[in-house]
Amino acid sequence: MDIEKNSQVTLTSTLQKKGFNSIMTKILLQMAAKVGNKLWVPKVPAKVLNSGVLMIGIESYGDQTDKSMNILSFCGNTNKECSAFYSNYIIYPKNDHSKTYMTKIVFECVNEYLTANHSPPQDIIIIKNGSTKYDNKLAVQA
């Protein structure tokens, strides 16, 4: 007979470090997350909360191991409370324009939102580091 038990492995040396209460708090948070609890729920204005807004955050940076490549990492909420997320990344050539990849990111996040909610988002907000007017125009056109 198989009996499932939730567990958390911790080294004795970790428990012997200073800051025992802080360490135990982190262990308990990890265990709570493993059983499906939401650890943090952001304070989202009521106007936005149940309106079906998809917020996508995008970070772009150069690949440190392959200088000829760029990385776009992104994260988008998958529920109306903004407490569940989907994240991924795309690696692309530095000489290539990011418009194609921005479009792919938006579609990927919309599909994840649609799968989780069985309806598309009503609005999409895109937050990107170093956004220029040109980037914003491309995102809106996507």
pTM metric for this prediction: 0.62
* pLDDT score at 49: 66
Q: Over 70: is that where the pLDDT of 137 sits?
A: no
pLDDT tens for 2-24 read: 666 667 778 888 888 888 888 88
Q: What is the mean pLDDT of residues 40-62?
A: 77
* pLDDT score at 142: 44
Largest CA distance in the chain: 61
Q: Compare 43 and 115 and report the one with higher pLDDT.
A: 115
- What is the DSSP pairing of strand 123-128 with strand 53-62? parallel
